[in-house]
Structure 1
Amino acid sequence: MKIEQLDNYEAMSRRGAEILFNEISNNPYANICLATGESPRRMYELLVEMIHVNQLDVSHLTFTKLDEWCGLNAKDDSTCEWFIRHYVLEPLNIKEEQLISFNNEAADTECEAKRIHDLIDMHPIDCCILGLGKNGHLGLNEPADELIPDAHVIQLDELSKHHGMLKGKKVEQGITLGLSELLNAKKILMLISGSGKAEILQRLMSKKVSTALPASFLWLHNDVACLINKEMK
């Protein structure tokens, strides 16, 4: 894991946008896995600006949604679907066929997870954007005695049930890519920012790999760029 500490959220976001822009420039057919939330939000805004200024062709890219809250309407602004459409897909005029996305309203969420796993098998991830959860989760792979390797439905940890994106909405389950799909990505870009993460970051930096801290599995990957906002508390 290559760690860079940036002075503030804006600097971290700009550095992340530069890395992601270079990945897309070097591979116009890349599959980019998108995390959601405040940590990557500004990075996506800056990336969109860079793509427009440089007139970069993104018509051959594929975008994959990392995870989703189960049971919310897809147009709800608490969903990961709304987030990636608002900050990435719509500003870049991305077509529907360029998106691999969990349907958070699917009647059979287990079948939906299997569908996404099969699609990732056919279109492996080239660059995966991740954030660090306050409980150490990766996507919605929650701390547990055992972790499921492939895309799956998960009972949310109590901390995740109160995630800022949910804005107080009651959600019990999520659907997420599994660690095998994340660790098979050619490159991982990890953004660490936000309040309440200092303790979990300290645990991550111990380099001890444990299912109790899913993010620790990133130490097993050979190409992780980890950007840390030094103003994080």
Structure 2
Amino acid sequence: MNILTFQSTEELNEAGAGIIVSLLQTKPDAVLGLATGGTPVGVYEQLVKSYKKGLVSFKKATSFNLDEYVGLPREHEQSYYTYMKENLFNHVDLPAEQIHIPDGNAPDPEAECRQYEEKLAKAKQIDLQILGLGHNGHIGFNEPDHALVSGTHVVKLQEETLRANARYFDSIEEVPKLAITMGVGMILKAKTILLIVRGEDKAKIVHEALTGPIRTELPASLLQTHPNLVVMLDNAASRYFQDQEHI
């Protein structure tokens, strides 16, 4: 585990994008696991800047998104499909046929999960998986539970997750109650995992996840088992790590 802290948001974003750019420069056909939400927006902005400067191409890459809400049309302003197009895909040369996002509006969500799992299996392995961290310790939409599902599945979102995501909707009632998410098993198969955490409100949970007992009630704690985990924290999120030697 390599834990990095950054004095400014800009430095964190540049470093995160730099890791992805370096991967694509050495392996143009890399498989990227992508996340949504507020956490990776700045990293995607830096990636777009790098692309426009001619420093990187996505033409041979493939992408798989972690998750999508169930019941939202892809064109909905809060769908993760729309998020990815607006924040990254519309601005780089990643071919549409090499982009994979679960279809949350599929008539049979369970069948969509199986098909998505088949696509992931065909890709064999994600080279770099980007992750954020939920306030309750979820990764993707894998919520705390007495057991976790390995493969892509439909999950019922917990109240804390609904409250956290309500800021993107007019009210909490509008937040979809279900989502399709990549399972923890597939996440942990990635060659490299890049966990990005920002804000003092997540300082305690990220410290607990990376230093406390490994348990399914805190899904992010399973990241401790990964052989190549890179953790990027802003100053506020690193609060409880300040006395650690590697900070």
TM-score, normalization by structure 1: 0.95
Q: Give per-residue Cα distances to partners, 1:54-82, cap 9 Å, x unaligned.
A: 34332111011110111112112211111
Q: Is it true that 1:213 corresponds to 2:218 in the alignment? A: yes
What is the total number of aligned residue pairs between the two structures? 233
Aligned mates of 1:187, 1:195 — CA distance in 2:
25
- Listed as ranges, the matches of 1:95-110 within 5 Å are 95-110=95-110
Identity of aligned residues (%): 29
Letter in structure 2 aligned against 1:213: L
Comparing both chains, which one has the higher relative contact order based on Cα–Cα distances under 8 Å and sequence gaps of 6 or more? 1
The SS at the match of 1:38 is coil
Correspondence for 2:203 among 189, 198, 203: 198
Aligned ranges for residues 58-97 of structure 1 at < 5 Å? Answer: 58-97=58-97
SS at match of 1:162: helix
Q: Distance in 2 between matches of 1:8 and 1:130?
A: 19
Deviation at 1:121, TM superposition (A): 0.5
Q: With structure 2 as the length reference, what TM-score do the two structures score?
A: 0.90
Q: Distance in 2 between matches of 1:73 and 1:194?
A: 31
- SS of 1:104's partner is coil
Q: Which runs of 5+ in 2 are unaligned?
A: 240-247
Provide the C-alpha distance between the structure 2 equivalents of 1:55 and 1:200, rounded to a whole number of angstroms. 36
Q: Alpha-carbon deviation of 1:159? A: 1.2
Structure 1 Cα separation of the partners of residues 188 and 210 of structure 2: 18
Distance 2:215 2:197 in 1: 19
Question: C-alpha offsets along residues 60-111 of structure 1, whole Å, 9 cap, x if unaligned?
Answer: 1101111011111211221111111111111003322111110110011011
Shift in Å, 1:166: 3.9
Matched, 1:224 2:229: yes
Aligned to 2:28: 28
Residue deviations 1:163-192 (CA, integer Å, cap 9, x gap): 336423231101100011111111111100
Report the equivalent of 1:146.
147
Give the partner amino acid of 2:231. Answer: C
Structure-1 residue corresponding to 2:245? none
- 8 Å CA contact 2:103, 2:112 repeated in 1: yes
5+ residue gaps, structure 1, are: none
Could you tell me which residue of structure 2 aligns to residue 133 of structure 1? 134
- Please give the alpha-carbon distance, in whole angstroms, between the structure 2 residues aligned to 1:144 and 1:185: 22
**1:160 deviation in Å?**
1.2
Residue deviations 1:39-66, cap 9 Å, x none?
1100110011112213433211101111
The offset of 1:207, in angstroms, is 3.8
Q: Secondary structure at the match of 1:226?
A: strand
SS at match of 2:88: helix
The AA in structure 1 aligned to 2:128 is: C
Moved more, 133-142 or 90-99: 90-99
Report the AA paired with residue 211 of structure 1. T
Letter in 1 for 2:219: P
* Partner secondary structure for residue 221 of structure 2: helix
Could you tell me how far apart the structure 2 residues matched to 1:170 and 1:83 are?
15
